[in-house]
Amino acid sequence: MKSKGNGQRVNHRRMSRRKALALIGAAGGALIAAGPGALAQVAAPAVRKKVKLTYWNWADNPVHQKISLDSVAMFNKSQSFIEVEVDATMAVMESRKKLVVSHAAGAPPDVVMTVQYWVQDYLDNGILHPLGDYFDKWDAKPDFFPNVIEQVKSKPGQPVLFIPQTSIPYFVFYRADWLKEANVKVPETFDQFVAASKAITKAPDRYGIAMRGQTYSAIQVILPIWASAGVKFADEKGNVDFDSPGALDVTEKWVGMFTKDKSAQPTAVNDGYRELYALMEKSKCGFWFYGPHAGPALIKALGDAIQACPNPRVGPKKYMLANPEGPMMTTGCKERDAAWEFIKYICGGEAVLLYTAGRSVPPVRKTIAQNAFFQNDRFIKMSLAESDTWWTPPYHHKHWTNMQDKIAPYWQEALREKITPKQFNDQVAKFLRGQA
């Protein structure tokens, strides 16, 4: 999101243990027929000795914090050998910093919730312990979406680095009533999107796109559009193409919605996640690139007027940015078998419903995706139907983290017209080449 990576995530649906059980029941035979992998809840753990583990997760709001606490309480009650202590008091970006510092000090936690865009950096810096050997022996392995499992390997030839609970897709929320009023079809191409955004703008009362200027997350939602234009960012040989004509064309059109078309809100330069959320709820903007976890609040505010569609494309292939999230094991963990028992637990059965249905995000297991909760949520159902287009950029590239950490102020400068779109793209390319 965070948006999460965002740093900010607001969840408006509370999930109790009773509700989680009810959701499992709603899936009925689909989950039961799936065998032990789908519902397994540590009944007879392989670890038969007293063990204590530490688990860190971010919690940007009380609902998310309660999910962390409840899942640990459920695990601790499920058996009498492994005791997990949880710290869910940090924001998502803080959790990364805290982990790096604790690892350097020789006192990291055993299990940490992570996001795809950090795992290669964790691996390269000796913080992450790969889980491929454990995962390959797990009877639930065939139940996971194959493309997501490839993503959590980070790059070809590597083992599974962490176990995904969800992969949070980013797509387009749109005001169906405004498009109908303007006699505009739901956009499929990026040019259609730019035109539609302009067509539904009625300044100063409403604008086409809720555009973000704050943090790296502002450009994260554009990544799949650049990819659809054929941009590789950095290929397997390390070649960088973000300063190519195709990449620049997308940047110019996106920035142009703010600087030329005036179809983005005037405050876009300084707006972050919370501001965009408010703009959509108050009917100030018609398009918003975000994930399904915004759905409950938007439906409450706007009803059937708010709908969703896949990201617009430039070329023939469409992409949906979807960042896998889930628990990883650290290299500092001394009780790895016990940590694996805990990781399995929170990636299946009741617990994984807390982390997915409890946050209104999709699961990444075939059987659990058939649960009535996910099939009855129009935003999650749409994103699951598009799961074969779920995609991540080359987070494994050795300079990606450098670019991600440094690029935000340059994006704001581009929106302010202090630098040109070409200068922005050139700067991204320099970061990816390790030249800055």
User: What one-character-per-residue DSSP string does 119-187 give?
Assistant: HHHHHHTT-EE--HHHHHT-TTGGGB-HHHHHHTT-STTPPP-S--SEEEE-EEEEEHHHHHHTT-PPP
Rounding to the nearest 10 degrees, give the CA dihedral for residues 313, 314, 319, 322.
-80
Closest CA to 323 of 164, 91, 173, 214: 164
**Per-residue model confidence (pLDDT) at position 49:** 84
Q: In which residue are the tokens 């309480």 written? A: 73
Query: First CA to last CA across the chain, in angstroms?
Result: 27
* Token reading at 361: 């995000």
Burial 151-169 (b: 16+ CB within 10 A, else e): bbbbeeeeebbbbbbbbbb
Number of Cβ atoms within 10 Å of the Cβ of 408 = 16
- Which DSSP symbol is given to 261? S
Residue type at position 394: P
pLDDT at 54 over 70: yes
Distance of alpha carbon 117 from alpha carbon 410, whole angstroms: 20
Length of the chain, please? 436
Query: 3-state DSSP call for residue 97?
Result: helix
How high is the pLDDT of residue 26?
45
> Under a CB-based contact definition with an 8 Å cutoff, are residues 329 and 336 in contact?
yes
Report the percent of the chain where pLDDT is more than 70. 90
Is residue 228 within 8 Å of residue 317, measured between CB atoms? yes
> Would the CA dihedral through 91, 219, 414, 195 be positive or negative?
negative
**What's the confidence (pLDDT) of residue 45?**
61
pLDDT > 60? residue 23: no
Instruction: Report the alpha-carbon distance of residue 107 to residue 391 in Å, rounded.
Output: 34
User: What mean pLDDT comes out for the span 104-128?
Assistant: 96
CA–CA separation, 197 and 209 (whole Å): 6
Q: Which of 187, 256, 264 is nearest to 228 (CA)?
A: 187
pLDDT of residue 41: 52
* pLDDT tens sequence across 225-245: 999 999 999 988 889 999 999
CA angle 396–402–406, rounded 5-degree value:
140
The pLDDT confidence band at residue 46, using thresholds 50, 70 and 90, is: confident
Q: What 8-state DSSP symbol labels residue 195?
A: H
Q: Pairing state of beta strands 306-309 and 320-330?
A: unpaired
**pLDDT of 24 above 90:** no
**Taking the CB of residue 60, how many other CB atoms lie within 10 A of it?**
23
Half-sphere exposure of 335 (CA within 13 A, CB side): 22
Per residue in 190-215, pLDDT (tens digit) is 999 999 999 999 999 999 999 999 99
Distances in Å between the Cα of 345 and the Cα atoms of 236, 355, 428 are 35, 12, 40
Predicted confidence (pLDDT) at residue 160 exceeds the cutoff of 80: yes
Contact 327, 115 (CB under 8 A): no
- What does the alpha-carbon distance between residue 270 and residue 261 come to, in Å, rounded to a whole number? 18
Residue 136 tokens, joined: 């390959």
